[in-house]
Amino acid sequence: MATQDDDTLTGVVPDADIEPTPAELAHARRFAELVDKTLAGRTPPAMSADDRALLEVATVIRATHGSLELAPSRQRAVVEDALRQAIGASAAGPGAVTPIARARRWQRAPWLVAATTTLVAAAAVLMLWLRPPGSGGHAHIAPVPEEWTSRPTDALVGPIAREHAGDASTRIDTIFADRLDGFRARRLARGARP
Amino acid sequence: MRYVIAGSWVALAMAAAGCVACSGERDASPPPSTRVADPGDVIDQGLMVALAQAKNFHHKAKVYMSDGNQVAAITAVRQILSLHFPRGAAEADDVRNDARALLAKLLVSQGQLDEAARTIDEGLAQSQRESFFVANLYTVQGEIHEARAAAFDATGDAGKASAVDERHQAIGSYDRSIQINERLQQKLLEDR
């Protein structure tokens, strides 16, 4: 069976100038006691739905006015927990609180690693870029032996006398034999690879 | 945070690559005894094949000449001019110029003086440098001028002036041949 108390939130809102009825005054006193108990941490286990709704509204109104404060230990635990989450670690329980100073140190660690490795990489790239020309692996390379190279045959043939102007067959034999020697020498030096 | 860690790994990888490159430079010693030669400046299989073909065509022409078949000899020598040598091979110029000199002499023996002169002119125009083979071309050019002078002489008084002119040109060609030979011999002496 519904009572008047049960209609507190859903019933007709009384005019502000009308004197409260004794029942309303009694309800107000009882609700005030309920609020006091809740603030003292002694919230009754059972209450009506309207009382619970009003109680929640009262709690919110009090919290927004800043008069609601957490215990110092609880405040510290909440802050440390938030900082832990900020640096990527899992939130700890209230018993495992990391000091703020140590947490800040660890928070900087990735940045320090990133800065250091970037500096090392930049130094290595600079070294490669600014190294003097000719300091590479070919600095001490010996030249190819002349007999391995393709080159003019003047030194081999010498001046061609007029009476031998048409002796090209003899000269090509000389040129071929000389270049074959060089070709074979190169192949032997390279392990018989062409 | 994840980006910071990923950036750290990338930077670490770059640093490692740089260090490997630097250490690779240090490990370049001891130096190799020979460098990797450019394909164009060593005697390779392509050059040997071209030289071998030139050698064979010359021998073929020699056989034809000993048999009295000058036309076939000319054909064999002409084939040397179309041989493919590796790009930049210095021997190519020398072998072709020598073939042109022989070809011109064969053409002169056949009375084809204009064709012989054209063969020499082409060789001189295509030569990249002075050589004993270029000097030999001038020598053969002089012989062609002498052959023309003889031909003008055979026509009687009408060809006397032309014969004199051809002989002057022959002397000019021999002089150029001598000058080239002298320069080259001097250079070879200096190089030794």
- Residue A103 pLDDT: 60
For A106-113, which contacts have Cβ atoms below 8 Å and span 24 or more sequence positions? Answer: A107/A83, A110/B1, A110/B4, A110/B5, A110/B8, A111/B4, A113/B8
Q: Look at residue A74 and tell me whether its pLDDT is greater than 60.
A: yes
The letter for the amino acid at B25 is E
A37 and A59 in contact (C-beta within 8 Å)?
Answer: no
B46 and A194 in contact (C-beta within 8 Å)?
Answer: no
Q: Which of A70-79, B10-19, B143-152 has the highest mean pLDDT?
A: B143-152
- Residue B29 pLDDT: 47
**What is the residue range of A152's domain?**
146-189
Inspect the interface and report whether the beta carbons of B7 and A118 lie closer than 8 Å: yes
Tell me how far apart the alpha carbons of residues B60 and B74 are, in angstroms, rounded to a whole number: 10
Inspect the interface and report whether the beta carbons of B11 and A183 lie closer than 8 Å: no
Any domain includes A59: yes
Regarding whether A183 and A155 lie in a shared domain, the answer is: yes
**What is the residue range of B107's domain?**
44-191
Any domain includes B80: yes
For B169-175, which contacts have Cβ atoms below 8 Å and span 24 or more sequence positions? Answer: B169/B142, B169/B145, B170/B142, B170/B143, B170/B145, B170/B146, B171/B142, B172/B142, B173/B138, B173/B139, B173/B141, B173/B142, B173/B145, B174/B138, B174/B139, B174/B142
Lowest mean pLDDT among A50-64, B60-74, B109-123: A50-64
Query: How many structural domains are present in chain B?
Result: 1
- Residue A183 pLDDT: 92
What phi and psi, each to the nearest 5 degrees, are found at residue A142? -80, 150
Inspect the interface and report whether the beta carbons of B90 and A186 lie closer than 8 Å: no
A149 touches chain B (CB under 8 A): yes
* pLDDT band at residue A20 using 50, 70 and 90 as cut-offs: confident
- Residue A89 pLDDT: 60
pTM over 0.90: no
Pick from B4, B14, B37: CB nearest A111:
B4
Tokens linked to B154: 């055979």
Residue numbers in B near A110 (CB within 8 A): 1, 4-5, 8
What is the residue-averaged pLDDT of chain A?
78
Regarding whether A76 and A123 lie in a shared domain, the answer is: yes
CA dihedral A98, A102, A104, A110 (to 10 degrees): -110
> How many Å is the Cα radius of gyration of chain A?
50
Distance from CA of B6 to the nearest CA of A (A): 9
What phi and psi, each to the nearest 5 degrees, are found at residue B182? -65, -45
Chain A, residues 119-148, CB within 8 A of chain B, namely 120-121, 123-125, 127-128, 131, 135-145, 148
The letter for the amino acid at B192 is R
A176 touches chain B (CB under 8 A): yes
- Residue A115 pLDDT: 84
pLDDT in tens, A111-154: 887 888 888 888 888 887 877 655 555 455 567 888 899 999 99
A82 touches chain B (CB under 8 A): no
Any domain includes A2: no
- Residue B12 pLDDT: 57
Inspect the interface and report whether the beta carbons of B28 and A137 lie closer than 8 Å: yes
Q: Look at residue B180 and tell me whether its pLDDT is greater than 50.
A: yes
Distance from CA of B79 to the nearest CA of A (A): 14
Query: How many structural domains are present in chain A?
Result: 3
Residue numbers in A near B5 (CB within 8 A): 110, 114
Tell me how far apart the alpha carbons of residues A136 and A112 are, in angstroms, rounded to a whole number: 34
Any domain includes A13: no
What is the residue-averaged pLDDT of chain B?
86
User: What number is the ipTM of this complex?
Assistant: 0.78
Residue numbers in A near B178 (CB within 8 A): none
Any domain includes B35: no
* pLDDT band at residue B151 using 50, 70 and 90 as cut-offs: very high
Looking at residues A164-171, what average pLDDT do you find? 93
Q: Of A102, A128, A154, which residue is a domain's last?
A: A128
CA dihedral B175, B176, B181, B184 (to 10 degrees): 140
| Helix residue ranges per DSSP H, chain A | 22-39, 49-64, 72-86, 100-130, 154-157, 168-189
Tell me how far apart the alpha carbons of residues A171 and A153 are, in angstroms, rounded to a whole number: 10
Any domain includes B57: yes
How many Cβ atoms sit within 10 Å of the Cβ of residue B84?
A: 10
Any domain includes B36: no
Inspect the interface and report whether the beta carbons of A169 and B135 lie closer than 8 Å: no
- Residue A2 pLDDT: 44
CA dihedral B129, B130, B133, B137 (to 10 degrees): 100
Distance from CA of A80 to the nearest CA of B (A): 18
Residues in contact with B75: Cβ distance below 8 Å, sequence separation at least 6, in sequence order: none
Any domain includes A118: yes
Any domain includes B155: yes
Inspect the interface and report whether the beta carbons of B132 and A154 lie closer than 8 Å: yes
Any domain includes A97: yes
Residue numbers in B near A183 (CB within 8 A): 43-45, 47-48
Any domain includes A7: no
Any domain includes A28: yes
Any domain includes B174: yes
Regarding whether A124 and A81 lie in a shared domain, the answer is: yes
* pLDDT band at residue B33 using 50, 70 and 90 as cut-offs: very low
Pick from B29, B51, B102: CB nearest A168:
B102
Distance from CA of A95 to the nearest CA of B (A): 26
* pLDDT band at residue B27 using 50, 70 and 90 as cut-offs: very low
Q: Among residues A146, A128, A142, which one has the least CA distance to residue A182?
A: A146
Inspect the interface and report whether the beta carbons of B18 and A171 lie closer than 8 Å: no
Any domain includes B142: yes
- Residue B141 pLDDT: 97
CATH (domain of B64): 1.25.40.10
Any domain includes A11: no
Q: Look at residue A91 and tell me whether its pLDDT is greater than 90.
A: no
Looking at residues A52-78, what average pLDDT do you find? 77
Tokens linked to A116: 């250091």
